[in-house]
Amino acid sequence: MSLPALLTGVPLAAAILVFCLRGNGSRNIIVKIAAAVTMALSVATGVTYFGHPVFIKSTGTMLSTVIMAVDVIAALAILYYTLVKFKKIWIAALELIQLGLILWFEQGVGHSIRLSADLAIDNLAVIMVLIAGIIGSLIAVFSLGYMEEFQKEHPEVEDRRPFFFFVIFLFLSAMFGLVISNNLLIMYTCWEVTSFCSFLLIGYTQTEEAIHNSFKALWMNLLGGVAFALAIVWMGIEYETVELSMLINLGRSAQPVELAVALLVFCGFTKAAMMPFSGWLLGAMVAPTPTSALLHSSTMVKAGVFLIIKLCPVLGGNHAGLMTMFIGGATFLFASCAAISQSDGKKVLAYSTISNLGLIVCCAGIGSYEAAWTAIMIVVFHAVAKSLMFLSVGTAEQQLGSRNIETFDGMFCSMPGLSLCMIIGICGMFLAPFGMLISKWAAMKAFVDAGHPLLLLVLVFGSSTTLFYWTKWLGKITAYIPSGKNREEGIHGVQWLALRSLSALTIITCILFPLVSQCAVIPYLEAAYQTSADVIDRNNLLIMSMMVILLVVLPLRFGKGRKKKLVVTNLAGENSGDNLSYRGVAGQTVPVSLRNWYMESWFGEAKMKLCGFILCGSCLLIEFAIICGGAFHV
Amino acid sequence: MSEIVFNIISGIAYLVLAPVVGGLLAGVDRKISARMQRRVGPPLLQPFYDFFKLWGKQPIAVNEAQSFYVFGFLLFVIISGLFFFTQGDILLVVFTLTMASVCFIVAAYSSNSPFSQVGAERELVQTMAYEPMLLLVALGFYLNCGSFSIETILNAPHMNFIYMPGIFVGLCYILLIKFRKSPFDLSMSHEAHQELIQGVVTEISGRTLALIELAHWYENVFLLGFVYLFFAWSATWSPVLGLAMCALTYFNDILIDNCCSRVKWEHMLASTWLVTLVAGFVNIMFLMYMR
C-alpha cells in the first residue's frame, strides 16, 4: 500500500509546496527534486510490480471518504469557474449532472456493494506509471527553463508560474491514481481531476482564445465524465459492482454488459480526442508548449486510450467493439490527411497525435491478442517520440519566434543540436526500423486476422499519408543552408537536459523494444487473454533493432573519407556564390526561398474534418442506438 | 541446415549478380527503346561504361551531408533486397524499401536547390501514391498463403496469380512509377527529351550519382522479384514461367514508356489510388471472404 500512496502523494505534496513557496529559486529546487523523486518512485514501482500484478484492497472507509471529498472539491472548483467566474451555465449543468449521479449512487446503492480490490497494479498500469513518471517529470524540468523564457517573451501574460507547476504536479498525481485504480469510483475521481487540470493548463495565458479553448476542452471532457458516471451507476444497479476487473470478467463470461463498456469507451473517446471530439486537443495548442507536450504524450490523452486498452478483452465482435474500431480507424485516416495541409508545427503534431491515437483506439477495438499488443506498443513509442517532438518544436519556437515549419529552414546548420533531436523524434514517429513501424506491421496482421478489409484500407492509406507529412518536415530541417551564427544560445541547461534525455530514451526504446515486448507487454496479455504467442517473429524483431543500431552508428563513422570539392547549387540564374541568392533575368539579385507543398485542395483541413466528423458522429449515434435498444429490450 | 546455406548463397549471389543483371536490364531497356524509336541505340553494355565513367570523376558536392543520405539509400535498398532473396519477410522488405525512399528524398531536400526540391517533392508524392498498393501486395500474399514469409509464398500449392489477378494489375501499375517510366517519371527521368535538369538528382554528380544508378539496378531486380512471386508455386517448371513473366512485364513497361507522355501529379496520384482501390482492394476483399 505504501508505494502507491507515495506515488500519488509525492507529486501532490510537491504541487502544494510549489504553490506555497513562490520564489523562483525555491521553485527551481523543489521542481527538480520532486521530478527526480517522482521518477525514482515510478521506476521503483516498475521494479516492484513488473511481472507481479497485485490487487490491493483498502481497509476501512478512509479511502472512500477521501475520494468523495475530492469529488466534491473538484466539482466545486469547476462550478466556481463555470458559474461564478465565466457564466457558462450549460457546462456547469454537465458537472452538476455527474456530481448528482455519483452522490446519489454513493448514498444509495454504493453502500451495499462489496469490493474485492480498489487498486490493480498490473504490467499495463506499470507501463503507464513509467511513461507518466519519467516523461512527465522530464517535461516538468523542461518547463522550468521554458516558462522563464516564456514570461520574458510575453510580458503581457501575468506570471502565474507557481500555479502552473502546481497544476502540473497535481496532474501527475491524478494520472498515477488513474492508472493504478481498479475501483471505478476512484478512477472517476482522478479522471475528473485530470480534466479539470487540463482546463486550467490550457487557459494559462488568460487570453480570449485560451479561455475559449479551455472551456471547449472542459465541456468535451465533462461529457465523457457524464458517460463515466452513467456507466458506474448502471453497473452498480445491474450487477452490483464498480470494479473494472469485474466488468471485464462479466463481459468475458458473455454477460450483456455492452452498455457499460460502450459508455466507458465513449468516455475514453472524449479524453483521447477521437473525432468528433478532436477539437479540444487542437485548441490546446494555445497553451505554453510543455502543456501540449504533457497533454499529448504522457498523460491526458493516454488516460483515454489506457481505459480503452483495459477494456480490450471485452471489445471485438460486439457493437461496442465495432464502434471503437471504426471511429478509431476513421480518425486515424482523416487526421493524418489533415496533417498534410498544415504548416504550423504544433498543429501538425496535434493532428499526428490524433491520428496515432486513432490507430491505438482502432487496434484496441479489434480486441484480439495481437491488436492489444500493437495498441500498447504504440502507446509506448508514441509517448516517447511525441514528447521529444513537442519539446523540440517549443524550443525552436522560442529561438526563432515562430513555430511555422517553413521557418525551420536551415535549422540543420544554425541549430545543429536541436535539429538532431527533432530528426530523432521524427524518425521515431514514423520511420522504419523505428518503433512505430513495428506497430503498423502488427496492426496489419491483426486487421487481416480480424477480417475487416475496410480497416486494412484505412491503414494502408493512412500510413502513406503519414509518411508524406513527416518526410516533408524532415526534408525541411535537413536542408543545408550555410549560416554564420549559431542560434542555439539562450536554450536553458534544463531544456537541454530534457531534450537529450528524451532523445536517448527514444533511441533506447527503439533498440530495446523486443525486450519491452517480451518482459512487459506479453506477460500482461498472457494474463488478460490466457494465451501466449509472438505477434511478430522474434528474429524479425531482432533484425529491426539491429537496423536501428546501424542507423545510429553509421553517421558517427561517415565522412572521414576523401575530400570533396564543394560547389554552389544550381539556381534559376547565376548563383551569387553563397547559395542564398542569384542574379535574376533583369540583373537584380533575387534571394532564394523555398516553400513546401501543402496540397490544400486535396487534403484541406476543413474538408477532412467534415468527413471525419460526419463519419465518426454517425457511427457513434448508430452504435449507441443499437446498444441501448439491445440493452433495454432483451 | 541446408536451407540456411542456400539462403546465404542466394544472398551473396544477389549482392554480386544483381548489379550485373540490373545494368544489363538498363542496357536492354535503352536498346529496345531506341529500336522502338527507329534508332540504333547504344551498345548493350553502355550503362556499365557510364557507371565507370561517373565513378572516376572528380568528387564534387554541394554539401557534406548529401552523400551520406545517398549512401543510406543504397544501403537500405541492398538490405531490402537481401531480405527478399534470403526468403525473409515480405513486409520487412516493403518497409525497408520505404526507408530507402525516404533517404533518397532527404538527399534531394538537403541540397536546398529549387530544382532538386521540386524533384524531392514529386518523388514524395510518388511514394505516397504507390505505398498503399505495395502494402496491399504484401497483404494479398499473406491472405493467400497464410504467411508473410517469402519461403512459404514460393512453395504455395497453386499459382498465386490465379487468386490475385487484381493485385497483380495494381503492382504492374505502380511498377511504372518505381521504374521511373512515363507517364509517371515525374521526379526524374532517364530521357533527355523529358527534362534538362534531372529532378531529384540535379545536385548529385560523380561517384555519388554512380551510387544512385547502382541502387536503382539493385532495386529494379528485386522489384521484378515481386512479379516473379505471382507466378511461382511448388511446380518444378514454375521458375521458367516466372522469369518469362518478369521479362514480359519489363518489356511492357518499356512499351508504355515510349507511348506516353508525362502526366500531372494530380493524375498520377488519383489514378494510382483508384487502381489501388478498384483492382487491389476488391481483390483483397475477395481473398478475405474466401478464407
pLDDT in tens, A473-522: 999 888 888 777 788 888 888 889 999 999 999 988 888 888 888 888 88
Average pLDDT of the residues in A172-193: 92
- Reported as a pLDDT band with limits 50, 70 and 90, residue B230 is very high
Dihedrals φ, ψ of A120, to 5°? -135, 115
List the end-to-end C-alpha distance of chain B, in Å, as a whole number. 33
Whether the per-residue pLDDT at A330 is higher than 70: the answer is: yes
**CB-CB neighbors (< 8 A) of B144 in chain A:** none
- Reported as a pLDDT band with limits 50, 70 and 90, residue A633 is very low
Dihedrals φ, ψ of A340, to 5°? -60, -40
Q: What is the pLDDT of residue B196?
A: 65
| Residue B272, CA distances (Å) to A146, A571, A593, B132, B172 in order | 46, 32, 32, 9, 11
Average pLDDT of the residues in A174-182: 92
pLDDT tens digits for A93-111? 999 999 999 989 888 877 7
Average pLDDT of the residues in B239-265: 93
Q: What is the pLDDT of residue A141?
A: 92
- Reported as a pLDDT band with limits 50, 70 and 90, residue A434 is low
- Reported as a pLDDT band with limits 50, 70 and 90, residue B192 is low
Q: How many helices (H) and strands (E) does chain B have?
A: 12, 1
Question: CB-CB: which of A479, A564, A568 is closest to B59?
Answer: A564
How far apart are alpha carbons A405 and A393 in whole angstroms? 9
How far apart are alpha carbons A100 and A103 in whole angstroms? 5
- Across the interface, whether the CB atoms of B96 and A432 are under 8 A apart is answered yes
Q: How many helices (H) and strands (E) does chain A have?
A: 26, 6
- Reported as a pLDDT band with limits 50, 70 and 90, residue A352 is very high
Cis peptide leading into residue A433 (ω within 30°): yes
Q: What is the pLDDT of residue A551?
A: 81
The percent of residues above 70 in pLDDT, for chain A, comes to 97
* Mutation site for A-interface testing, chosen from B64, B89, B92 by largest number of A Cβ within 10 Å: B92
- Across the interface, whether the CB atoms of A481 and B285 are under 8 A apart is answered no
Q: What is the pLDDT of residue A433?
A: 57
Coil vs helix vs strand at B57: coil
Query: Is residue A205 within 8 angstroms of chain B, CB to CB?
Result: no
Say which DSSP state A404 is in: B
The three grid cell numbers given for residue A354, joined into one nine-digit string: 490524433
Query: Is residue A577 within 8 angstroms of chain B, CB to CB?
Result: no
Average pLDDT of the residues in B101-107: 93
Average pLDDT of the residues in A363-380: 90
- Across the interface, whether the CB atoms of B143 and A448 are under 8 A apart is answered yes
**CB-CB neighbors (< 8 A) of B7 in chain A:** none
Measured at the alpha carbon of residue A91, what is the angle toward residues A188 and A171, in degrees to the nearest 5? 40
Whether the per-residue pLDDT at B239 is higher than 50: the answer is: yes
Q: How many domains does chain B have?
A: 1
Poorest-pLDDT segment among A175-179, A515-519, B116-120: A515-519
Dihedrals φ, ψ of A173, to 5°? -60, -45
Query: Is residue B197 within 8 angstroms of chain A, CB to CB?
Result: yes
Distance from CA of A235 to the nearest CA of B (A): 38
Per-residue HEC secondary structure of B169-198 comes to HHHHHHHHHHCCCCCCCCCCCCCCCCCCCC
Distance from CA of A497 to the nearest CA of B (A): 27
- Reported as a pLDDT band with limits 50, 70 and 90, residue A438 is confident
| Residue A28, CA distances (Å) to A23, A33, A145, B28 in order | 9, 9, 9, 70
- Across the interface, whether the CB atoms of B127 and A568 are under 8 A apart is answered no
Higher pLDDT, A608 or A632: A608
* A-B C-beta contacts closer than 8 Å: 167
- Across the interface, whether the CB atoms of A461 and B89 are under 8 A apart is answered no
How far apart are alpha carbons A15 and B43 in whole angstroms? 78
Dihedrals φ, ψ of A343, to 5°? -110, -10
| Residue B51, CA distances (Å) to A212, B195, B198 in order | 63, 21, 17
- Across the interface, whether the CB atoms of B111 and A471 are under 8 A apart is answered no
Query: Is residue B265 within 8 angstroms of chain A, CB to CB?
Result: no
pLDDT tens digits for A147-166? 988 898 888 888 889 999 99
| Residues 480-509 (A) with a CB less than 8 A from some CB of B | 480-481
- Name A119's bridge partners: A56, A181
In which domain, by residue range, is B229 found?
2-290
- Across the interface, whether the CB atoms of A570 and B203 are under 8 A apart is answered yes
- Across the interface, whether the CB atoms of B273 and A596 are under 8 A apart is answered no
- Across the interface, whether the CB atoms of B89 and A540 are under 8 A apart is answered yes
Q: What is the pLDDT of residue A634?
A: 41
How far apart are alpha carbons A393 and A296 in whole angstroms? 13
| Residues 372-431 (A) with a CB less than 8 A from some CB of B | 409-410, 412, 431
Whether the per-residue pLDDT at A73 is higher than 80: the answer is: yes
Whether the per-residue pLDDT at A432 is higher than 70: the answer is: no
